Structure 1
Amino acid sequence: MNLIFKMIQGALIGAGAVLPGVSGGVLAVLFGVYKPLMRLLAHPLKEWKNSLMQLWPILIGVVIGYIGIAKLLSTVLERYETQSLALFVGMTIGIMPSLFREAGEKGRSGRSWLSLALAFAAAMTVLIVFKFVIKMNIVPNFFWNMFGGFALVLSMIAPGMSSSVLLLPLNASYVNADGATVTSTLYEYITGAIGDLNFATLLPIGVGALLTVVLLTKAINWLLDNHYSVTFHGIIGIVIAATIFTIPLPVFPGWENSAFIMSVKTNETMSIFTANTGSCLVHLLFVVIGVIITLALDKFNQSVEKPEVE
């Protein structure tokens, strides 16, 4: 029974690394396995005997969670794009209280808030340049697939960071499994490849994930050990900026031919929907549902005793 429970925990952590608005790293902290997991990733040769023997069912669960939730998300995003994005925005809003609680666990200072502000400003600047200045529309290749692996692993090793934060704001044009050219987000492309077990894409994703583990795990360990509050608040700043660019844009009557909306439609820089009373209420409802989901998950996690795996 303990083995099954650990695999379920791992599946939730894996799903959290893929689900927008949720962080696999936060779930690992909540389940009490973050520290041993980071020890294993930072020192695999030294820790494999102790940590791997205890964590292997969790690691198997992580893989199951990755693949299972990615397949579901790929289908949902394809059919209900703007409603899904509204739900994900709500989930990100709902997780903010737990992020701020975790960020303040060791206190806050002026440097903490400065870190949040600078990270927010930097992320906003990069996203504005990508979307509205150079109007970047990615054609996925080996590098961008590696970037997808980087984002997925970062969601596990950096508590509070969600892979969607880096992947949802980026547009991508690619040929799907049916041979049709699709323009959506890099997030949809990566989750679709994982859900479909597209090994040509999974290979560079795996390379990116491995390089992230090798190059960043020790650095993130050091930052969280020595500059916990500043680092965590910086992550929150990035999350807030990316969430703003994930919000579906309502197009109200009379706006259809405005220069801004025409630019958005032409370059597909944002997801849009025709705004009327019904559609606005539906999208608002999905935001509220997303908030409720993550608040309920946070409340459940706080009620569960979390013995730290040693």
Structure 2
Amino acid sequence: MKGLINFFKGIAVGIATLVPGVSGGTMSIILGIYDNLIHSISSFFQDWKKNLLFLGEVALGGLLGMACFSSLLENALIRYPYVMKFFFMGVIFGGLPILYKKAETSKDNGSGIVYFVIGAVLVLAMSSQPTAVTTLATSTGILSIIFLFIAGIIIAVALILPGISGSFMLLALGLYDVTLNAINTFNVPFLIPLALGVFVGTVATTKTIEKLLQKHPRKTYMLILGFILGSLVEVYPGIPAYGEVAASIVAAIVGFILIFWMSKKEFQSEN
């Protein structure tokens, strides 16, 4: 039963990863699997069977979420941008109370306010940068492969750090549209070097984060909280059009209640 729950949580993380401004790391924290993901990746060989099973459940869900919902999500964001963005804002807000409680119940000293501010400022600074004009050549030459590998490493950092959207990083690198198209058309020559870069970047980043969570949990959680709140500026689409106000508000409320309830249950089961 737990494996099935992890699978569905993976689907949610995969879907969130596709939305510009919404972080897969944020979604995994909200759903209560972030710490386990970090530990399973960084300490994989300490108990590889258990870690492989957990990562397989989440990864399979994530891949399925991206493969099955990329086209649907792309169309929904085009047709109902305010409703969808407000729903994701509700989802993010719904996970914040439990994350703050995690920070407050940590045992290390200090309020962590400075780290919260640093996290928010970093994400705000990144989201204020103009989108890069870099575009990927359609050729399968060595330069294209190297570029995709390096881009994958950069994207991995964004995927692991909550509040920094992997999709936003794709936009900044000029790869968002072409990556969605590659997923929809299963363009293997494009996806393999990108995926290898993501793998290498993920392993390197998770080891650093796990050490921080072990030695400075409160400060790390407050930094993450700053990342997430700072990312809301990128997610917020502006005031909805008159005909979408009610639907956008309802979507935000539904997102908040759903994730608050799920994250509260997860927090209670951990304590």
Which TM-score applies when normalising by structure 1?
0.65
| The one of 257, 264, 270 aligned to 1:302 | 264
- Residue 245 of structure 1 aligns to a residue whose secondary structure is helix
Find the aligned partners of 1:286 and 1:69 in 2 and give their Cα distance.
21
Q: Are 1:76 and 2:76 matched, yes or no?
A: yes
Larger RCO (alpha carbons 8 Å, 6+ apart): 2
- For the Cα contact (< 8 Å) 2:163–2:227, is it kept in 1? no
Distance 1:78-1:289 versus aligned 2 partners, 3 A rule = closer
Q: How does 1:211-250 map to 2 (within 5 A)?
A: 211-249=200-238
Deviations 1:185-228 (A, max 9, x none): x4x65445434433344224302311222211110100111111
- For the Cα contact (< 8 Å) 2:94–2:255, is it kept in 1? yes
- For the Cα contact (< 8 Å) 2:76–2:84, is it kept in 1? yes
Find the aligned partners of 2:249 and 2:133 in 1 and give their Cα distance.
28
- Residue 29 of structure 1 aligns to a residue whose secondary structure is coil
How many equivalent residue pairs? Answer: 258
Larger radius of gyration: 1
- Residue 235 of structure 2 aligns to a residue whose secondary structure is coil
Q: Structure 1: state its 5+ residue gaps.
A: 175-185, 251-274
Q: Are 1:286 and 2:213 matched, yes or no?
A: no
Find the aligned partners of 1:242 and 1:86 in 2 and give their Cα distance.
13
- For the Cα contact (< 8 Å) 2:15–2:66, is it kept in 1? yes
Deviations 1:13-58 (A, max 9, x none): 444544536634325635xx843x4344224444323432565344
Which TM-score applies when normalising by structure 2?
0.72
- For the Cα contact (< 8 Å) 1:148–1:167, is it kept in 2? no
**Which residue is equivalent to 1:205?**
194
Find the aligned partners of 2:51 and 2:167 in 1 and give their Cα distance.
30
Find the aligned partners of 1:49 and 1:169 in 2 and give their Cα distance.
33
- For the Cα contact (< 8 Å) 2:86–2:251, is it kept in 1? no
Find the aligned partners of 1:163 and 1:154 in 2 and give their Cα distance.
5
Give RMSD over aligned pairs: 3.8
Find the aligned partners of 2:171 and 2:87 in 1 and give their Cα distance.
18
Cα shift at 1:304: 6.0
Deviations 1:63-106 (A, max 9, x none): 22232233322222233334433433333333322332333331
Q: Which has the higher helix share?
A: 2
- For the Cα contact (< 8 Å) 1:151–1:163, is it kept in 2? no
Deviations 1:212-257 (A, max 9, x none): 222111101001111112122112222222321332245xxxxxxx
